[in-house]
Amino acid sequence: MNYRITMIFLNLALLLMLTTITGCNKEETTEGKKRSFLQIGEFTVTRKGPDFTEVRDGADRTLILIPRDAELPQGYTRHQIVRVPVKRVAAWSNFDVSALRSLGVLEEVLVGVIQPEDKWHIDEVKRGMEAGKIVYLGNSNAIDFEKLKKQQPELALTWDRSVIPMLNELEIPCIITSAPVAMCLNARMRYVQFLAPFFQRENEADAFFARVSDALKEIRELTSYALKEPKVMWGDIYEKRVLVEPGNAWVGELVELAQSDYLFEDVYGTSCIEISTERFLYSGEDADILFTYSSPSTGATSKAALARMNPLLGRIRPLKTGRVYAPMAHYSQSGDKLDEILIEISAILHPELYPGYELRYFIELPDIDPVIPGDQS
């Protein structure tokens, strides 16, 4: 009897295996080619057919990209359908706006942003806002949804999950472009390849990735000659919280790749992750370089100014004997120049390898604020 049972069991196992194998083969051969799949951190693009692409966004939501004239596929809700190429976009973050620029579609498709005109450093956006084509939709806490609806966007790129129900109500498809885990260097470089199918600009995305890859290769080669390994921290102390870039974030990976020591390498999680003050100060005792989130426009004009804003920060080594760098105002809107940014960070870490390099995205903070002649205060 036990032989019979084993035969039945083995046959069932064999049948299951055969079904799996034939099932997999079928998937690959029905389209005549292998199904293409691209993973960019938490984001994915799966080409299921010439006119049918499935994407997964930063909030684990699945959306379907189909041609503008295609019939609605079955099994999906209307909020999941995006008609491509998308012609009108509302974008929440600077990062997404600069990604649109990398794809060469910014001027053509952008119709709404959540920063007023005077905060923009991208010419196309300024021009668009002046002409009235691009509209300021209000800040992230008070989006004017009526204005948004009037702009008739075919897609909203947002980091704010709380607007999803409202956008669903307005029948505006949206993708969440932030993820619970910080983007690694590879994901940061490839992010445009996630957006590309929405605008059918895959070639532009590939070209962007190739450009940044070349820059990275150059950094790797050049920094292999570095004699010193500077110790780096990236973050800030605020009134009630301490925020840093974790080791899994692209900046952490870049610092490590450029023959340097990232002091929050062991921290894992979301971008701008909160850590304890003690941990920040402990790492700060050894650090040579601090990249602060604060910019000169928010008061980070010198090391002394930073220490005045937060006395605890004054205890760390970069503020005493090291170097401190703050992002320039246009830094966060320069995602399309990622190759230049990566090279600049490498030049900051190893100035001896980049003689005569002039900073374009970061500013080195002086020890004290420069004295302005005639300023009595």
Partner 1 sequence: MSSGHGTAKAAVLINAYTWIFDIRMMLQALTKKIWQWLGSIKLTIVILLLLVVDMVIGYWCLDRRTTIFQPLGDVGLFQWTSTYGLHNLLFTAWFFVLLGLLAMLTINTFICTTEKVITLLSRKRSFHLGRFWLRLAPHIMHYAIIVVLAGYLSSYMLADVHPGQTLVPGASLTIPNTNIHIKFSSYEPHYYQGKRLDFFHDWVIDPGAGLTISSSTVQRTAILSYNKPVRYQGYTIILKNFYPKKKGGMSPRVYINLSIRKDPGVVFYFSGMLLFAAGLLIYVFLWVYLKTEGRR
Binding site for partner 1 (CB under 8 A): 1-3, 5-7, 9-10, 13, 20, 23-24, 27, 35, 37, 39, 41-42, 44, 46, 56-57, 59-62, 77, 140-141, 160-162, 164-166, 176, 179-181, 248, 268, 276
CA dihedral 268, 271, 277, 278 (to 10 degrees): 20
- DSSP reduced 3-state for 186: helix
In degrees and rounded to multiples of 5, residue 46 shows phi and psi of -120, 115
From the CB of 61, what's the least distance to partner 1, in Å? 4
Question: Which CB atom, from 218 or from 274, has the smaller least distance to partner 1?
Answer: 274
Rounded to an integer, what is the distance from CA 351 to the centroid of its chain? Answer: 26
Question: Which CB atom, from 75 or from 370, has the smaller least distance to partner 1?
Answer: 75
CA dihedral 219, 222, 226, 231 (to 10 degrees): -10
From the CB of 164, what's the least distance to partner 1, in Å? 4
Question: Which CB atom, from 204 or from 270, has the smaller least distance to partner 1?
Answer: 270
From the CB of 24, what's the least distance to partner 1, in Å? 7
H helix intervals, the chain: 2-29, 94-102, 106-109, 123-131, 145-150, 164-169, 185-199, 202-223, 250-257, 277-284, 303-309, 317-320, 338-349
From the CB of 331, what's the least distance to partner 1, in Å? 20
Question: Which CB atom, from 63 or from 258, has the smaller least distance to partner 1?
Answer: 63
From the CB of 45, what's the least distance to partner 1, in Å? 10
From the CB of 67, what's the least distance to partner 1, in Å? 23
Question: Which CB atom, from 67 or from 180, has the smaller least distance to partner 1?
Answer: 180
The partner residues of 39 in beta bridges, in order of sequence, read 44
Question: Which CB atom, from 46 or from 295, has the smaller least distance to partner 1?
Answer: 46
Quick one: 243 exposed, middle or buried, by C-beta within 10 A (0-12, 13-18, 19+)? middle
